[in-house]
Amino acid sequence: MQLGELLTPGDVIWLEGDLGSGKTTLVQGMAAGWGSADLVTSPTFVLINIYRRPDRAQLAHMDAYRLESAEDAEQLDLDYQMEQGPLIVEWAPRIAAALPAERLRLQLSAVDETRRHILVEPSGERYQEIARAFKAAVYGNS
């Protein structure tokens, strides 16, 4: 089981971590697990990428790196994107005020060249459930 498989419309994944900590790479895994064969690239310049599944469901992948504030994010109509499918946001702290209080926060950091650390912090029942299922799959406990 992969984290992406658990995602449904309205779900928000908050990603933070330095440049090179592995955010985009993680999104590649989540999009594949969710069921899209689309190529996942960094939306640093386009701000938002939309990936599709064969059933036409969508996954929105946003990068807030170039945004100054939550007001900037409002133009991207995040509420609409969240209705259409899950939303994953790189550099989420930059637009914190534009995102729902309930989300799954994943904080990435590089341990060394080949290893990454990931902190999983759910807020709200929905995300506690997702985090539990994710951790059970990763560590094999329940």
Ligand X SMILES: Nc1ncnc2c1ncn2[C@@H]1O[C@H](COP(=O)(O)OP(=O)(O)O)[C@@H](O)[C@H]1O
Q: Which CB atom, from 7 or from 108, has the smaller least distance to Mg ion?
A: 108
Q: Which does 93 bind (CB under 5 to 8 A by kind): Mg ion, ligand X, none?
A: none
Pick from 52, 116, 126, 132: which binds ligand X (CB under 6 A)? 116
Position 23 contacts ligand X (CB under 6 A): yes
Q: Which CB atom, from 47 or from 57, has the smaller least distance to ligand X?
A: 47
For residue 141, CA distances in Å to 94, 118, 135 come to 34, 18, 7
Q: Where are the alpha helices (DSSP H) in 3-124?
A: 23-34, 70-74, 78-84
Position 94 contacts ligand X (CB under 6 A): no
Q: How far is the CB of 93 from Mg ion (least distance, A)?
A: 14
Q: Which residues bind Mg ion (CB under 5 A)?
A: 23-24, 42
Position 93 contacts ligand X (CB under 6 A): no
Beta bridge partners of 52: 58
Position 43 contacts ligand X (CB under 6 A): no
Q: For residue 86, count CB atoms less than 10 angstroms from its CB and return exposed for 0-12, middle for 13-18, buried for 19 or more.
A: buried
State the Cα–Cα distance between residues 111 and 114, nearest whole angstrom. 8
Residue located via tokens 């029942």: 125
Pick from 4, 16, 22, 85: which binds ligand X (CB under 6 A)? 22
Position 105 contacts ligand X (CB under 6 A): no
Q: Which does 132 bind (CB under 5 to 8 A by kind): Mg ion, ligand X, none?
A: none
Give the full edge-to-edge strand order of the sheet including 58-63.
Answer: 48-52, 58-63, 87-90, 12-16, 103-112, 115-123
